[in-house]
């Protein structure tokens, strides 16, 4: 198994990739030969497991490139089975918002929507206040038909290191709360004396009927963003800094780069209002835009763009690495490519 540092992102942004052609056969072969390929690749990955996991711990991310086998869900499944990693469901699987390509293999679809044309998915970890996956494996099944669609990764340890101490102290001491949805009930302004009873009714209804589907601790709050008839689902206060559960390394563990409304409003975004997120301090006061701009600047400084091709896998340490996607161009069909992912490793609770 050959490996080399990617020249465009060599030290200090150390990002490792492996080149491996597990099999030189084309996909249109007999089923029995495909089974032999799966068995053969399983042995290769299993033997390389110690080296792969050591590189993952050192760099936080490994890029497997030029592989034929992993162009299918079955082949992708053989990859993480061989590494001895257990599947886990997406942290918000119960919400129904994550489309699965293969339920039996635990594979979720990432990008394959024309509606995401020109959309920028900011840096984030696959996590909620309640749970996260230890690792994540992202695969490309079909390449982009036009330019664009790069996968983004950034090292949370380096982001934490380069944040201005004053900005970091403010957000660490105040903690953050993330709003995950907006429900507007503007008609309530015209309901007179029924307004408050109706507000209580809808607040209770959403809390009991909708919030439980997300398997998250959500508080339904009116007017957090200054709009009195907007009901928001808000996560509890949490620390933006976490300590890696295996290495003890302090890391930036916060989805603010993707979820902050101010940052989303200032870059390409096609999310409908009901799905727009926002981030506040722990007391629900606003985070200064200057601090958000600084966090954005430092985050973008450490972004590495990965032009994934069919069969490529990005294997990430979900505690240390943040990821996102830059969806460019337009068109139909597989205009931005087709990527999928699987959460692997033990699904555990998170904390400061």
Q: How far is CA 300 from CA 165, 241, 293, 303, in A?
A: 18, 18, 10, 5
> Which residues does 209 contact at the CB level (< 8 Å), separation at least 6?
none
Q: What is the pLDDT of residues 11-30, one digit of tens each?
A: 334 444 444 433 343 343 43
Task: Work out the angle between the directed axes of helices 289-301 and 165-174 (0-180°, nearest 10).
Answer: 110
The secondary element (H helix, E strand) that includes residue 1 is: none
Which ranges of the chain would DSSP assign to H, the alpha helix? 31-47, 49-59, 73-82, 156-162, 165-174, 195-209, 256-259, 261-265, 289-301
Residue 278's SS3 state is strand
Separation between Cα atoms, residue 28 and residue 159, nearest integer Å: 45
Select the more confidently predicted residue: 299 or 47: 299
Checking if the pLDDT of 92 tops 90, the result is no
CA 72/CA 27 separation, integer angstroms: 10
With b for 16 or more beta-carbon neighbours within 10 A and e for fewer, the 102-133 pattern comes to: beebbbbbbbbeeebbebbbbbebbbbbbbbb
Residue 326, pLDDT score: 75
Of 280 and 134, the structure prediction assigns the larger pLDDT to 280
284 to 32, 197, 214, 218: CA distances (angstroms): 59, 24, 21, 14
Q: What is the crossing angle of helices 31-47 and 73-82, to 10°?
A: 30
Per DSSP, the three-state class of 240 is coil
The b/e string for 8-47 (b: 16+ C-beta within 10 A; e otherwise) is: ebeeebebbbbebebbeeeeeeeeeebeebbeebbebbee
pLDDT at position 272 is: 80
Please provide residue 108's backbone torsions phi and psi, each rounded to the nearest 5 degrees: -105, 145
User: Which pLDDT score is estimated for 280?
Assistant: 97
Flag whether pLDDT at 142 surpasses 90: no
User: What pLDDT does 269 receive?
Assistant: 76
Residue 342 and residue 107 in contact, taking contact as beta carbons nearer than 8 Å:
yes
Are 252 and 240 in contact, with CB atoms under 8 Å apart? yes
- pLDDT at position 153, please? 94
SS3 content of the chain, % helix, strand, coil (to 5): 35, 30, 40
Residue of 181 and 21 predicted with greater confidence: 181
Instruction: Quote the tokens at residue 201.
Output: 């009714």
Task: Answer whether residue 84 shows pLDDT above 90.
Answer: no
What gap in Å lies between CA 49 and CA 83, rounded to an integer?
Answer: 6
Quote the percentage of the chain above a pLDDT of 70: 65
| pLDDT of amino acid 133 | 75
For residue 173, count CB atoms less than 10 angstroms from its CB and return exposed for 0-12, middle for 13-18, buried for 19 or more.
exposed
Phi, psi for 172 (deg, rounded to 5)? -70, -45
- Alpha-carbon distance of 144 to 172, in angstroms, equals 39
Q: How confident is the model at residue 100 (pLDDT cuts 50, 70, 90)?
A: low
At residue 209 the predicted structure's pLDDT band, cuts being 50, 70 and 90, is: confident
pLDDT tens per residue, range 235-280 = 999 999 999 988 899 999 999 999 999 999 888 777 788 888 999 9
Burial code of 287-314, b = ≥16 C-beta within 10 A, e = fewer? beeebbebbbebbeebbbebebebbbbb
**3-state per-residue secondary structure call for 106-133:** CEEECCCCHHHCCCEEEEECCECCCCEE
pLDDT band at 150; cut points 50, 70, 90: confident
């Amino acid at each position: 198994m050959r490996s080399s540092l990617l020249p465009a992102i060599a030290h200090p942004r150390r990002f490792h990739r492996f080149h491996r052609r597990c099999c030189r056969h084309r996909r249109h072969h007999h089923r029995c030969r495909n089974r032999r390929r799966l068995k053969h690749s399983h042995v290769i990955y299993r033997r390389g497991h110690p080296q792969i996991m050591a590189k993952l711990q050192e760099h936080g991310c490994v890029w497997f490139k030029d592989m034929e086998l992993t162009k299918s869900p079955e082949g992708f499944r053989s990859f993480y089975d061989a590494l001895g990693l257990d599947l886990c469901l997406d942290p918000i699987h119960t919400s129904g918002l994550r489309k699965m390509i293969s339920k039996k293999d635990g594979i979720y679809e990432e990008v394959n929507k024309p509606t995401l044309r020109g959309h920028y998915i900011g840096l984030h970890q696959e996590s909620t206040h309640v749970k996260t996956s230890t690792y994540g494996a992202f695969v490309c099944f079909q390449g982009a038909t036009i330019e664009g669609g790069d996968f983004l990764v950034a090292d949370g340890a380096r982001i934490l290191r380069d944040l201005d101490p004053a900005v970091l102290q403010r957000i660490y001491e105040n903690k953050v709360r993330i709003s995950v949805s907006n429900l507007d009930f503007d008609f309530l302004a015209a309901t007179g004396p029924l307004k408050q009873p109706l507000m209580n009714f809808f607040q209770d209804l959403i809390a009991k009927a909708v919030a439980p589907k997300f398997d998250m601790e959500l508080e339904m709050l009116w007017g957090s963003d200054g709009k009195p008839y907007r009901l928001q689902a808000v996560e509890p206060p949490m620390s933006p800094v976490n300590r890696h559960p295996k290495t003890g390394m302090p890391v930036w563990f916060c989805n603010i780069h993707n979820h902050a409304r101010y940052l989303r409003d200032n870059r390409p975004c096609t999310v409908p209002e009901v799905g727009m997120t926002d981030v506040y301090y722990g007391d629900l006061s606003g985070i200064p835009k200057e601090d958000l701009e600084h966090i954005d600047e430092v985050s973008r400084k450490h972004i590495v763009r990965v032009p994934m091709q069919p069969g490529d896998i990005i294997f990430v340490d979900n505690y240390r690495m943040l990821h996102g996607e830059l969806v460019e161009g337009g068109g139909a069909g597989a205009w931005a490519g087709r990527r999928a992912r699987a959460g692997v490793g033990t699904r555990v609770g998170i904390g400061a």
